Structure 1
Amino acid sequence: MQKTLIVIAGPTAIGKTALAIKLAQHYQTEVVSADSRQFYREMEIGTAKPSQAELDSVKHHFINSHSVTDEITVGDYETEALEVINQIFKTHSLAVLVGGSGLFIKAVTQGFDALPKAPPAVRQELNDLFTGEGILALQEKLRVLDPDYYEQVDLSNPQRLIRALEVSISTGKPFSSFRTNQPEPRPFNIIPIGLNTERRLLYHRINHRVDQMVEAGLLDEVERLIPFRHLNALNTVGYTEIFDFFDNKKSLEEAIDSIKQNTRRFAKRQLTWFRKDPEVHWFEPEQTDEIFSYISNKVR
């Protein structure tokens, strides 16, 4: 059988983890996470990681694999993930890649353009801008320097904004000009699966998940991470809003509502990204039998 990577993509809270585990159990293989926040050991509740029972049910890679103090680029992830997948293929015919980070999935399936290194002083300047003036200042700077990438990037992700800006500033060329978008051939077959449902149901799932996070102790988790709040890993939905609560900028109710709203916006951007790929075959999260049938036909 040709080595095959099953890719499970879709918006947050849609049920990707549950499906990936079912597939891995059925095909007796392993799961590779493509979630750019679940790497971090210290970020448990706010990243909606698989439960311990789920982690024990099949072998997972890139869950709790790094600390928030580690810097992980998309290029780093591409290299490490391909090494892991090649190891899986030594003993299995199939592997499962799952996550909502479109850029990380693309890096594995198509390759990521090598980008020039920027001087540390440029990054520090941008981090200071973010700390002093917030994410809107980064967004505006990117809109001026690289309007093309501004239309594509996740504008709520300061790490992506800073990376694009440091390349643009240090080279004098738009970040987007370094992106060739030429897919790198992979020595394995790829079956991309997308999960989605009607917007009302998706938003209900998102709101419910946020409520569960709060009940599970999100506030305590974020409070423990206050000493690390300056790190890029913590500049993300579910954490920045609770930091605002601790800074007395928002009430707890306002912070929770902001998490729900920002997560819904993030889900819309995720869908926009994945829908650009005509190879993705879409299913409702409950269509497990149809998904298994589709994959079996593709594998044959």
Structure 2
Amino acid sequence: MAEEKIKLLVLAGPTGSGKSALALRLAESIGAEIVNADSMQIYRGLDIGTAKPSAEELARVPHHLVSFVSPEVNFSASDFRREAAAVIEEIHRRGRKVIVVGGTGLYIRALLEGLVDSPEGDPELRRQFEGSSGAELLQKLAEVDPETAARLHQNDRVRIVRALEVFAQTGRPISAFRSEHGFAERHYEALKMAIRVEREELYRRLNQRVDQMLRDGLVAEVAGLVAAGYSRELKALRSIGYKEIAAHLAGELALDEAVELIKRDTRRYAKRQMTWFSRENDIYWLEYPESFATIQEHVIEFFG
């Protein structure tokens, strides 16, 4: 007999859409614990700029993988999958329900579907593609991996370069690795939901949130990290909000310039998240807080 799969509620979607607030309400109403799937909230000391749950919110419901590693750790999607799987198993063993919350699509995909067993990245090889435009790279990819090329836009440079890199290393298209991976056993039964927010309203919220981060002490937070000896080149400090304020502290940007860049890059990041999750065909898009009763009903029915 096949082993019964653990049920997960996954709340995904763009930053600023209200996922954390919805997760708290649902967790309290159904007896669940929250597993963070935001790649920056993983880091200790990066609190204000990552919009981490407050101390009061953390006290209301148990949260896992928040402030989990030090900023110098290069935490990957495979690291997340390993740690999240262990946490989910432990929560399930205690008879509690699990809500996975976050906007890092790769983390969620890694957890639910596993990772394609393709070779590690090669920075030297990647540099060979730096002088080519997205259109040129996509054309190169179409010649060796038409299946992957057909799924990508020329602006999706990261994935195009990754596919070219895999082919250069192995002589096999990345689509072949994905095809083999498609037969992998899924370990969880997931209900995936996201909050639908009109783009202009989302951008308004994000701009307001950046202003609030400044009032809450973002500059002092970044200054503290730099004073503690953390390099600006670390993955954690290259994230949105931290890299701009670090540049301001180094005298490279005026504060108002840094703030405008944070707002712009946050909006762009949210747009990329919306694009990522809109391509997932198994996500239920719902309004919140307007449809909370409906959401709650779906969730209760799912967990049975």
Q: Shared topology, TM-score over 0.5?
A: yes
| Preserved contact between residue 11 and residue 194 of structure 2 (Cα < 8 Å) | yes
2:292 maps to what in 1?
A: 288
Matched, 1:259 2:262: yes
TM-score (norm 1): 0.82
1:213 maps to what in 2?
A: 213
| Preserved contact between residue 31 and residue 96 of structure 2 (Cα < 8 Å) | no
| Preserved contact between residue 141 and residue 160 of structure 2 (Cα < 8 Å) | no
| Preserved contact between residue 46 and residue 238 of structure 1 (Cα < 8 Å) | yes
| Preserved contact between residue 191 and residue 298 of structure 1 (Cα < 8 Å) | yes
Listed one character per residue, the Cα deviations across residues 95-152 of structure 1 (whole Å, up to 9, x for unaligned) are 100000001011111111123245xxx54x599x7xxxxxx95996997376849749
User: Number of matched residues?
Assistant: 286
2:12 maps to what in 1?
A: 9
Matched, 1:86 2:89: yes
Give the superposition deviation at 1:39: 0.8
- Cα distance in 2 for residues equivalent to 1:230 and 1:165: 26
1:20 maps to what in 2?
A: 23
1:74 maps to what in 2?
A: 77
**Pairing partner for 2:52 from 49, 55, 58:** 49
TM-score (norm 2): 0.81
- Cα distance in 2 for residues equivalent to 1:83 and 1:255: 39
**Pairing partner for 1:270 from 266, 273, 283:** 273
Listed one character per residue, the Cα deviations across residues 53-78 of structure 1 (whole Å, up to 9, x for unaligned) are 11111111110110111122211211
1:197 maps to what in 2?
A: 197
- Cα distance in 2 for residues equivalent to 1:114 and 1:140: 28
| Preserved contact between residue 135 and residue 154 of structure 2 (Cα < 8 Å) | no
- Cα distance in 1 for residues equivalent to 2:162 and 2:223: 27
CA distance 1:137–1:34, shift in 2 (3 Å)? same
CA distance 1:277–1:178, shift in 2 (3 Å)? same
Q: Structure 2 stretches of 5 or more lacking a match? A: 143-148
- Cα distance in 1 for residues equivalent to 2:219 and 2:166: 35
| Preserved contact between residue 138 and residue 162 of structure 1 (Cα < 8 Å) | no
Listed one character per residue, the Cα deviations across residues 196-248 of structure 1 (whole Å, up to 9, x for unaligned) are 21112111110111011111111112223334211122211111222332343
- Cα distance in 2 for residues equivalent to 1:32 and 1:154: 29
| Preserved contact between residue 10 and residue 192 of structure 2 (Cα < 8 Å) | yes
